[in-house]
Amino acid sequence: MSVTSKDDVDGILKFVADCDGKFEDSKCDIKESDLGGLGVFAKTDIAKDEAILTLNKSSIFSASNSSISNLLCENDIDGMLALNIAFIYETTVFKDTSHWYPFLRTVRFRDDQGHLNLPPSFWHANGKQLLKGTSFDTLFDALTPEEEIIQGFKIAVDLARKWNGEFRLEIPKGFLDIDEKNYDENFNLALEKFISVAYTLSSRGFEIDAYHETALVPVADLFNHHVSRPDLKFVSLYDVCDKCGEPGMCKHLIAEGYLEAQQREQCKSTTGNAATRVIDDDLISRLENGLGGERSDNDTDTEEEDNLTQNPDECVDIVLKNDVRQGQEIFNSYGELSNVFLLARYGFAIPGNQYDIVHLGPDFIKISKKEDRHQEKFKWWSQVGHGLFSAWYAQMRQEDEEDEESEIQSDGSRQGVNGEMQDGSGEEEEEEDEDEDEDEDDGLKSWLSQLYIDVNGEPSPSTWALASLLTLTPAQWESFFSQKATPHISDSIVNEEKLPFLAKTGNLHAKKLLSKLLKDKQLPVPIGEHPIGAKGVTDAMHQSARILIQSEHDILNKCLKRLS
C-alpha cells in the first residue's frame, strides 16, 4: 500500500506533466483510501482497455538511468541492490540537480510517526513475538534476518568509500557514512535505514524491461492491491537492448552484427584463431556515420515531427482490464500472494486473503517427539511414504481429470471446432498445478511444507494422509508392507494398494487427532491498539500481526467445524 503523503500528489502530477506524461486526472482522483494511505478512484465511469497513465521510460527511475549508472555497471552491481544504492545517491547527494528528485523525494521510507518501514525479519524482538508460531515463522522462517541484504549494505558502504577516494564523490550522509569512533552503533542505525529504503522500493518497483529491470514509476505506485479482482494491467515492451534500452535495431546490435561478420570472414581466411575485437564507442560512432550516410534537411524535419508524439515502444502504460464505475477505487495486483508474502515483501496484510494457509509442520513434529510409537511412522513417511503418496495422488488426479475431459468431449456440448476445450480447462490447469507444486518443492525442499490447512478449512492431502497414518493400529501398519518391516525401514517393500486408505477423509481417528492438534495450535488474536510501552512495536506492526493471526484463526475454526 502506498505511503505517499497527500501533500506530495501535486508535485508528482507536475513531474509527470513536465515529462510529457499523461495521467487521466479528469477521470481519476487520488485521495485517501479505506485500506489506508492513498488510492486512485474513478471520477466517472471508465471503459476497459483505456490507458489511464502513459509515461515515457525516460521519466521512470531505475539504476540504469540514474546519475551513478556507469559506476554501478563498472562494479557489476545490478538488481534491487543497484536500485537501492542509486536511490540513496539520487536523494541525498544529487538532490535538486537530479531530474527525478521531484518524484523521488515523495517516496517515504518512514511512517507518519517517523518509524522506519522495516520487514518483520528486522523488527524489534517484541514485534517479532507477535508473529511467533504463525506460518510466517514456521513455514517460511521469515522472522530470521536476511544475510543477503546485510551483505548488500556492506558492499554499498565499501563502494561509497571507494568512489569518494577515487572521484571525490560525496558519501550519502546518514546512509553510508559509518563513523569509526562509534562503529557498531552507527553501522546498525545506517543498516536499518538502508533496509527500510530497500523494503520501500521493493513494494513500489515495477518490472520494466531488459535495460531498466526494476524501476520506480510515478503515479503507478499509488494504486492499491486487490487480492482477487485487480482492474489494471501494466504494459511495457520488455525486449529492448540491455545496454541502451532502445527497441529494435540499435547501435549496439549493429556493432555486434558487424563484429560477428568480421570474425566469420577472418575464420574463413585464416587457420588460426581470429583476434577478438571489442565493441567500443569509436567503433559504434564509425558504424553510425557509415550506415547513416549524409542527412538532409528533410530527414531532420521528419525526426522533429516524430519527436512530437510518444513512441509506444518507449513508454509504459497502465491500462484498465475491467470497466470501472464512478467512485470505485481502481486496484492493481501484486500477484496471487498470501499475507505472509505480502507482509514480507510489501509491508501490508489484507483481511480475508483467499491465498492464506495455516502450516502444521511443527505441530506434527511435536506429536512425533511426545510419543515413541509414532517415531517409526514419521521416519517412514519422511523417507519413503510422502514421496509414494504424492506420486500416487498426482496420478489419481490426472486420471480423474482425463476421465472428466473425455466425458465432456463425448457429450460435445462444450467442444470447439477442432475438439479443443473452449474454457481452457483440463490439461492447462493440470500443468499450472504441477508448476506450482514444483515451485513449492524447490523453494522449501521439505515434506513438512505440505502439511497445512487451506483458506477454506480443508486439510491438504498430505495432512490427511499423515494423520491417518499416525492413527493406524499395529496390524494396519504392518499391512502397509509386502513383507515384514525391516530395521532399515527405507528398504521395506511397500504395499502400494494400501495408499488410497490414507486419502480417505472420513477416518474418525484421524479427525480426532487433527482436532486436538488444531485446538492446541490456535494463537490469541491481538485486539485493540498495541500495548502501551511495548518497545519497538508500532501501530503498523500490530495491525499487520492482527490481520495475519485473525486469518489463521478463522481457517482453523473452519477446519474444526469440518472435523466435528
| 10-residue mean pLDDT series, the chain (564 residues) | 77 94 93 88 95 93 95 94 97 95 92 88 91 90 91 96 95 91 88 95 91 93 88 89 76 70 69 53 57 45 46 89 95 90 90 93 88 85 88 84 66 38 36 48 65 95 94 86 58 74 86 93 70 72 91 94 91
232 three-class SS: strand
Could you give the CA distance from residue 408 to residue 423 in angstroms, rounded to a whole number? Answer: 12
Q: Which residues have C-beta within 8 Å of that of residue 320, sequence separation ≥ 6?
A: 46, 47, 48, 49, 50, 51, 52, 231, 232, 330
190 and 175 Cβ atoms separated by less than 8 Å: yes
Distances (CA, A) of 149 to 196, 441, 541: 11, 24, 21
pLDDT at 475: 86
pLDDT at 423: 36
Portion of the chain with pLDDT greater than 70, in percent: 79
pLDDT at 207: 92
Q: Residue with C-alpha cell 545517491?
A: 89
Phi, psi of 278 (to 5 degrees): -110, 140
pLDDT at 530: 52
Could you give the CA distance from residue 483 to residue 492 in angstroms, rounded to a whole number? Answer: 7
First vs last Cα of the chain: how many Å apart? Answer: 39
The number of beta carbons lying within 10 Å of the beta carbon of residue 323 is 14
Distances (CA, A) of 335 to 37, 223, 233, 331, 346: 20, 14, 11, 12, 11
Q: Supply the Cα-derived Rg of the chain in whole angstroms.
A: 29
The string of pLDDT tens digits covering residues 497-540 is 888 888 888 889 999 999 999 998 887 776 655 554 567 888 88
Could you give the CA distance from residue 560 to residue 47 in angstroms, rounded to a whole number? Answer: 44
- Domains of the chain plus CATH, in order, are 6-243+313-346 (3.90.1410.10), 251-296 (no CATH), 358-408+425-563 (no CATH)
The string of pLDDT tens digits covering residues 111-170 is 878 889 999 999 999 899 999 999 999 988 889 998 999 999 999 999 999 999 999 999
C-alpha cell at 151: 551483505
458 and 354 Cβ atoms separated by less than 8 Å: no
Q: Which residues have C-beta within 8 Å of that of residue 543, sequence separation ≥ 6?
A: none
Q: What angle do CA 265, 266, 271 make, to 5 degrees?
A: 125
pLDDT at 294: 45
Q: Which residues have C-beta within 8 Å of that of residue 311, sequence separation ≥ 6?
A: 247
Distances (CA, A) of 274 to 222, 265, 266: 54, 9, 6
State the sign of the Cα–Cα–Cα–Cα dihedral 136, 140, 143, 148.
negative
Could you give the CA distance from residue 385 to residue 485 in angstroms, rounded to a whole number? Answer: 13
Instruction: Mark 374-387 as b/e (b = at least 16 C-beta within 10 Å).
Output: beebbebbbeebbe
Phi, psi of 377 (to 5 degrees): -70, -40
Hey, which residues does 332 pair with through a beta bridge? 225
The separation between CA 510 and the C-alpha centre of its own chain, rounded to angstroms, equals: 36
The number of beta carbons lying within 10 Å of the beta carbon of residue 71 is 20
pLDDT at 407: 64
